[in-house]
Amino acid sequence: MRSIREMITNKLANVDNQQQRGITGLETAIILIAFVVVASVFSFTVLSTGVFASERSKETVYAGLEEAKSSLEPRGSVIAFKGRAGTTTDDDTIYKIQFVLGNAIAGEPVDLTPPYTADATNTDPDISSGAEYKTVISYQDKNQYLSDVPWTIKLLGQSSNDYLLEQGEKAEITVWLLQRLNGVSDPTANDGVTKYSAADANGSSGILTAGTLLDENDQFTLEVKPESGSTLAIQRTTPARLDAIMDLK
């Protein structure tokens, strides 16, 4: 029969083994909990990043749609008109350009409040006093760049009788590169048109006295820049011979 000493020793050994197994299990549990916490934080971070990226992508798409919805598009031909800025045929040039605009893909209304008017009396174009125009038109050829040229508007067909170009409406825009002189009924006559002497109260002008006239076989670009939406670029080349009215295809 075992002695009392052996029995006590065996009991103590069993207790020691049980304690060691208990400590190992606790440590394992702590490690597992730490892994779960780290994984949860990582998952939350990934999900948050994904949601943020998705929201930013959605905003970009919506911004692109708004940009497109507010765009203009040309409707029909670009027409150029000849004028004589002197006394001989060598002084013949294009003094104004007309084109028709519509609202692309049934977009948002575009503010086409004109900075100028034209009434075929006295000198044209006439500055619109107090007009706050949002759409700017620039002109460029190989010799010059004009960031803000005078332009007038005529609404065609049915419209809401305001200068907001809405779905289904059309606006005829006339860009004035030169001025029609006071009292001249025929711009193609001697000294029918002239260059601008300086920028006006709007800070804009057509071709200035130091500028170069638009001649035969010259390429030019007009850019229509609305308050919102993309810029519309119209690029054309003048024909080899200038007629009174020309369709620049």
Convert the pLDDT of each residue in 4-49 to its tens digit.
556 555 654 554 555 444 456 666 777 778 777 777 776 767 666 6
Q: What's the whole-number mean pLDDT along residues 150-177?
A: 90
Q: How would you classify residue 21: left for phi > 0, otherwise alpha for psi between -120 and 50, otherwise beta?
A: alpha
Question: Residue range 115-127: average pLDDT?
Answer: 88
**Amino acid, single-letter form, for residue 83:** G
Looking at per-residue pLDDT, the higher value among 192 and 105 belongs to 192
Residue 111 has pLDDT above 90, yes or no: yes
Q: What is the mean pLDDT of residues 92-108?
A: 90
Which segments of the chain does DSSP mark as H helices, in order? 4-69
pLDDT in tens, 37-58: 777 776 767 666 666 566 666 5
The helix or strand, by DSSP H or E, that contains position 145, with its residue range, turns out to be strand 145-146
pLDDT at 176: 97
pLDDT-based confidence at 168, cuts 50/70/90?
A: confident
Examine the pLDDT at 69 and tell me if it is beyond 60.
no
Place of tokens 């031909």: 77
Share of the chain above pLDDT 70, in %: 77
Quote the pLDDT of residue 132: 87
DSSP 90: G
31 versus 59: which is more confidently predicted? 31
Q: Are strands 164-165 and 170-176 parallel, antiparallel or unpaired?
A: unpaired
Q: Which two tokens stand for residue 58?
A: 């959605």
More confident: 104 or 43: 104
User: Could you tell me the pTM of the whole model?
Assistant: 0.72
What does the pLDDT read at residue 14?
58
